[in-house]
Chain A
Amino acid sequence: MTDLTDTRAEVRSARTSARKAGRTGAALAPYLQAAPMALVFLIFFVLPLAATIAVSFWQYTQYSIEPAFTAQNYGDVFYGCLANLPSLCTTFLTYISTLKFCLIVWATTLTIGFTIAYFLAFHVRTLKVQVICFLLCTIPFWTSIVIRMISWIPLLGRNGLVNQTLMGMGVIDSPLEGLLYSDFAVILALTHLYTLFMVVPIFNSLMRIDRSLIEAARDAGASDLQTLRHVIVPLAKPGILIGSIFVVTVVMGDFLTIGIMGGQQIASVGKVIQTQMQFLQFPLAAANAVILLAAVLAAVWALLRLVDIRKEL
């Protein structure tokens, strides 16, 4: 017995010393592995963000920008907003318009994305077919955003495919005007772009649901709709949340899609910032960007309050 205990102690001490020898190298390894990504983040994300926040407090004139500390830019953004209530100022109107697109696109991408993810997860039986369907969903991403935007014109334009077809069928007499360069066009394009961002995380959540849970629900007398509402949707929450964060953040900052599909006639916060940059009003643009960032962070925070993501993952 003593022999055995001794041997064990020896083995243990040998192991400990081996661990000590390799410790310095081993302790450094994870930091080295994380370093490249951390550097990229630091240089291309943290620094520009800090610069933006700093510049938002600078002074500017028509031909110069001066380092200073002034809240004037923020005051300009909200100029007249409180004084003129209840009539809304441009900034509020712009934010409301952007939020409107955000909500509508969130609703459409969620509905379509959940439906596609549900189909892929529960109706497509083999992994091979699932992968093929996924690739089909990514086809729009094989070309650049500009080409995708321009491609809508021959489809939705005044003499586009849709109008010609409808007129050919005799459904309408004159071309529909609202197809292109309208709210509808913006929502259509954004939905088309971002539905995949909903599909992927929701699909991932759905695949992790134990199939016997669905049988158990059926066994307990739940209809298909009840199973969806009481079992599948609650368990898909993490995926819905991640997809929602993607879509909300991307749509809130969008200026390209809203610009092109809205015929440069629809205001969005991103568009405002872009215009101010064109006029070299960098501090004003920076102040707008910081406010937008705060709004997006507030939206993400609200979403995270709905689902405890750490618990769900």
Chain B
Amino acid sequence: MNWDIIFGVSLESLFNTTMIAYALAAIGLNVHFGYTGLLNFGQSAFLGVAAYGLAMTVATFGAPFWLGIVIGLAGAVVLALLLGIPTLRLRADYLAIVTIAAAEIVRLLFRSVSLSEWTGGSDGLQSFSDDFYKLNPYSSPLKIGIVDFDPRELWVMTIGWALIGISLLIVFLAMRSPWGRVIKAIREDEDAVRSLGKNVVSYKMQSLILGGVLGSLGGFIFALSRAAVQPDTYGTEFTFYMYTIVILGGAARVFGPVVGSMIFWFLLAFINAVLPAAITQGYIPTWLMTPTQAGAVGYILVGAGLVLLLIYRPQGIFGDRKEVMLDGR
């Protein structure tokens, strides 16, 4: 077993682009679920719309990169409005079902053959990130011990961590403000807030837009780090991973999603590296597990982890049990 590689990959996952994309998405989801108590199961759609907004603008229509970013962000806002208008008046479980349905609609539209002229169908789109990488100031890879990042990844990571910093600051300031107090009060008791004369639906909509836009930043990082968009990566499992991350870190905590994402990806990368290695070395007999089956084990453990967290520690690492929206009908 090459422990250097296994631990190297795991340590890289504490900082790499995948972790950043999930952290940004989870920061957005934390605004929805953690602070406002909105059960948004369609967060992957926000990332997908942003990523495709960027990719389609640049790759399909040949427009400049910055316009792609603007269109991606605008797409997230429009999606929040489209999603919010029919659903925000509904009870939590209805909201969950409708948002997950909306996310599937978005994914199916992206992979549809009839729209493939613009979206590239199930193959997705490439070659939209050249302008972004042209700005790359790094020329040599970074090597610290067993951790190794190439210049392209370093550039995405720099931007990604800057975006995480900005997003955390926005969330911190927003939740300290009077607006944030109303948002948290909506989570605790919607009717009480309404009786104080606040327009609950409007506040929820603002929260949906804020969280969606923060999540869409994750969509940009996800697309740019891979230099490609592919519809099936924006499926419902993406959202379920984000929920695990938010709950692991602690819902309604500013740093919760980032810490959650780091721990989540460290563990998952470790499992995904150690299992195939153990199989090839013969520590795990092949009748028990083949390398292809090892991929499924990661998902099984994520599911089991989510179940155990919610049963035994719903507040996650940092959270406060009283602040987690787990009841209500």
A, B co-complexed:
no
Give A residues with C-beta under 8 Å from B: none
Give B residues with C-beta under 8 Å from A: none
